[in-house]
Each structure stands twice: as C-alpha cells, then as structure tokens.
Structure 1
Amino acid sequence: MSGHPLAADAALAADLVREAALLAARIRSEGLDVERKTSGSDIVTQADTAAERLIVQQLTAERPDDAIVGEEGTSRPGTSGRTWVIDPVDGTYNFSRGSDWWCSAIALRDEDDVLLGAVHHAASLRTWVGGPDLPSTCDGVLLDPLPQTAREARCAVTYLHPPFYSGEVGVAFARALGQVGTLRMLGSGTMDCMAIASGQWDVLFQHSVADWDRLPGAAIVRGAGGESVVVPAAGVDWTVTGASAAVADVRGALAGG
C-alpha cells in the first residue's frame, strides 16, 4: 500500500484511531462521567470528548487544509474539498457499561464519496483500514473476500430501538428480516461492520445513521469487496452494508420489493 495515493492518509488515520482508543480506554479505567444526550442510550462521556479533541488537534496540524466533522461537536471548514469524519467512541453506551464492543473510528471523504475508513478495537488491539479504492486490511493483512452466504444462513446486525418495532418502520424492518436467517443487535454499528468485513456476519441494516456512524464501516466493507447503500423506506433513510447479494436482497425488501 506504500505507493497508493491514499497511503499517507491511511497511515495517519490508523495512528489516530489507535491513539484515540487508547486514551478512551485509559479514561474508562479511571472512572467515567456519563451525560445523557437525547435518550437513555444516547450518551456522552469525557472519554468521547477527550478522544475527539486528540484527533482534531493532530489533524489540524497534519492536514490543515481539510475540513473536520466530529460526533461530539467539532465542525471545522476546509479548503481542500476533503473532510475527516470522526467518531471518537462508537458504541458509547456499551463503553459506559463495561462492554468491549466499541471502537474509535474515522473516515476521509471528498465531495463525491468516502475515500477511506480506519477503525481500532481497543479490546483486541486490532486496526482496520480500507476504502472503495484501497483494499481493506486488518493489522496490515488483506481481508478475505466477503462470503456470499445463503439467505437462510445469513446473520444480520442492526440497531433499532423497541419503539420503532411498530408502524411503517417496523413493517419495513420485518420485510428485511425475511432476507436473513438470524439477527444480532450489539450496539456499535462500526464494530458490526468490522465483523462483516471479517466474514463473521453478513449484512447490517439500520435507519437514520449519521455520517460518523456510517462512513468508516462502509469504507472498510467496500474495500473488502462489499457494498454500502442508503435506501429510503418508511419515511426514513436506511443504511444497508455487507456482502453484495445480501445488500441487494435487503435493499429490495426495505423498498417493498
């Protein structure tokens, strides 16, 4: 990858997510202050804000012309046409409750598409990097092609709160479930995408996903040969990410096909 046009950006992104995750994990070990944002599971801790601040400081120094957007409020304009999108702790509720299913994530996009994503899982010390034109790796090792699992054996992952199980959203969700064999809800969409990129699960679908929750995982799944699309259905926009056949089937089901 050393000769790739995005090699320097990919190396920087990998360093940033590793450092951010290490900082967040250290803060958690010392005790968290948890603040509620919009709901009981939508929370923020001082680890989120400190990890985002660390990334922003380094990006400002290393990529001064690029824009930066972060989940915890960072919004810095740029002049290059490129934007770094930061999720300092994806899976904050899990993180705050002592679960290890969380990560630090970052994506780089231009005006047309995402270019790359980087994710670090602190519990296993693994780092994923990749993008649509940058073959995805885990700790520098190329990922295997995604399995094209038979419909009845597919495992889906999602994040859908119980109030959304009824109404039009619930109906669309049920249609999508007809395209898979089993379902998991683990609480970190980006880590779910890393499991998909590593061949453990097959497809993710959930609605109203912010760029910092969507782009890092989408980039890495696409770099492993998968797909990620946004599908309007039931009055909301659904992100569907995974192996190509599973994405096609779930996309069609959500849209009413």
Structure 2
Amino acid sequence: MLVHEISELAAQAGNLALSRQKALSELSVTAKGHLDFVTDVDRAVEEMIAAGIGRLFPDDGILGEEGRSLSGISGRTWIIDPIDGTHNFVRGGSSWAVSIGLASDRPVAAALNAPVEGTMLVAEAGKGIWRNGEKLPAHRRPAEPSIAYTGVSTWMSTDNDRWLSGFVRDELGLADRRTGSAVTGLIPVILGEADLYIGFGEHIWDVAGAAIIAAEAGCAHSLDWSAGLPQGPFTFVCGEPALVERTSRALEMRRT
C-alpha cells in the first residue's frame, strides 16, 4: 500500500524540519515577498522528499513549492510543500506542517505531518485515513456547523481579508479562526473538529495533500483534479458539502 511509503517520507521530513527548528539561530531565512519567507530547511526538506520519491517511484513527476520540478512518464505527480507555515516555523511556532500529495487526473494518496502538534494524517484514495498510524473510523459531523478556518495570502489586499471575515461571521454564522498555515487550518476540518476552510491566494502545494485526505473524510472541496493542476494562485474551499456549495455560490457572485 502507498500509505506505508508516503508515511515514511512524511515522518522523515517532519523529523528533519523539527530538528532544525530547535536550532533557530542557525537558520538561513530569505524573503520571497511581503511576509513570505523561505529557509534552508524548506529546501533541505523538499530535497529529502524528492530524493525518496526518486528512489521509490522513478517514473513519477514531482512539483515542489521551492522549485523542484520533474516531469514523469507515469502520469502521476507528487506535490510537495516542505513546510507549510514557514512564517510560524521561523518564529518557533507550532502551526506548520509537511504536505505531500500524489495525484494524476484523480487523487491517489497523501500525507500531512504537523510534528509539533503531534499529528500525522495519511490517506490512500478509497482506503480511508490513518492518524498517527491508526485507522480512523468514519466520523459524523455535528448537525449545527460552528467553526471555519480561513486564510488570505499576504500579497492580497486587506479588502479580501475584511470581506472573508465578514462573510464567515455574518453570512455563514460561523466563528472565524486562523492558523497562518493552510494545512493546519485544514486538519481540524478533516477530523470533524471544524466545518469549513476558505483560503484566498492558495497554491496547489498548499492544499493538494489536504484535499486528497479531506475527500476520504467525506468533505467536499473546490479542486478539480481532472482539469489539471492550477498554475497560479486560486481560492480553495473545503469542508461540509452543503457549506462548500453555499460558499462557492457566494464567491462566484462576488466575482461577477
């Protein structure tokens, strides 16, 4: 099963990142944009994951946030975010995670590892979800939704931020929470601890792994695998199906 290989890759990557976070004074940090950083750890973790994929699955393609790109011949692509939540990582925070997703024109498998928070989720399409090595039972969501996690990319205007907070609070009637990481905002949705995630300005590596696992949890999301991987930033919605549909309609009306 793919879950064994992808679990090992995510565990090794999380261990490397966590060990380096414990030596923050030695980090090399470079600004990619406004409040957008990359560290030598991001690059090292991405290289570790890519090397492991190359050994195990040499025919597959690779797409990494920090520039690793390899066309494969299998039709499958591994999508890597070595540290989602780098801003939190460089401040010694806990809200960051490793994300690995595998897809073709459909979801295949994924792993999310939030090592400081002690959570690793792994899934293979059609076979369920494992949390820290144990198979998760199907969970029922509460009848009355109450919590949404949101994210707005740092390069977007504050108007987007204000609109999103107001929409979640006033239109959906949900509490709005933020973590500064798409993955750590999506994990509670996957686990049924929250009801919705809305992210403005996401990239495919931010959400690919979580989208694959969320689908196994019975969530709906706005990513269309059959349309190919998005090439630029996009809005991502994931969660309880009726909320995703309602939110998607509101976002479409806002664009028109």
Tell me the TM-score normalised to structure 2 length: 0.86
Runs (4 or more) in structure 1 with deviation over 4 Å come to 169-173
Unaligned runs of 5+ in 1: 1-6
Separation in structure 1 between the aligned mates of residue 140 and residue 157 of structure 2, nearest angstrom? 30
Any idea what the Cα deviations from partners look like across 1:50-69, whole Å, max 9, x if unmatched? 11111111111110000011
Alignment correspondent of 1:192: 185
Alignment correspondent of 1:255: 252
* Cα deviation, residue 188, structure 1: 1.0
| Percent of paired sites with the same residue | 27
Matched, 1:30 2:29: no
Matched, 1:239 2:236: yes
Separation in structure 2 between the aligned mates of residue 81 and residue 137 of structure 1, nearest angstrom? 26
Confirm or deny: 8 A CA contact 1:68 1:77 kept in the other structure: yes
Amino acid at match of 2:50: V
Separation in structure 2 between the aligned mates of residue 71 and residue 161 of structure 1, nearest angstrom? 15
Alignment correspondent of 2:230: none
Alignment correspondent of 2:72: 78
| Residues 143/124 of structure 1: CA separation in 2 closer, same or farther (3 Å cut) | farther
| Residues 193/39 of structure 1: CA separation in 2 closer, same or farther (3 Å cut) | same
Confirm or deny: 8 A CA contact 1:172 1:255 kept in the other structure: no
| Residues 51/93 of structure 1: CA separation in 2 closer, same or farther (3 Å cut) | same
Matched, 1:157 2:152: no
93-102 or 170-179: bigger deviation: 170-179
* Cα deviation, residue 20, structure 1: 0.5
Matched, 1:93 2:115: no
* Cα deviation, residue 147, structure 1: 0.9
SS in 2 for 1:101: coil
Separation in structure 2 between the aligned mates of residue 141 and residue 134 of structure 1, nearest angstrom? 10
TM alignment of 1:95-110, pairs within 5 A: 95-110=89-104
Confirm or deny: 8 A CA contact 2:148 2:168 kept in the other structure: no
* Cα deviation, residue 251, structure 1: 1.5
Unaligned runs of 5+ in 2: 225-232
TM alignment of 1:24-173, pairs within 5 A: 24-31=17-24, 32-40=27-35, 42-110=36-104, 112-139=105-132, 140-150=134-144, 153-160=145-152, 164-166=157-159, 171=163
Tell me the TM-score normalised to structure 1 length: 0.86
* Cα deviation, residue 207, structure 1: 2.1
- What's the C-alpha RMSD, in Å, of the aligned pairs? 2.2
Report the number of matched residues: 241
Amino acid at match of 2:33: T
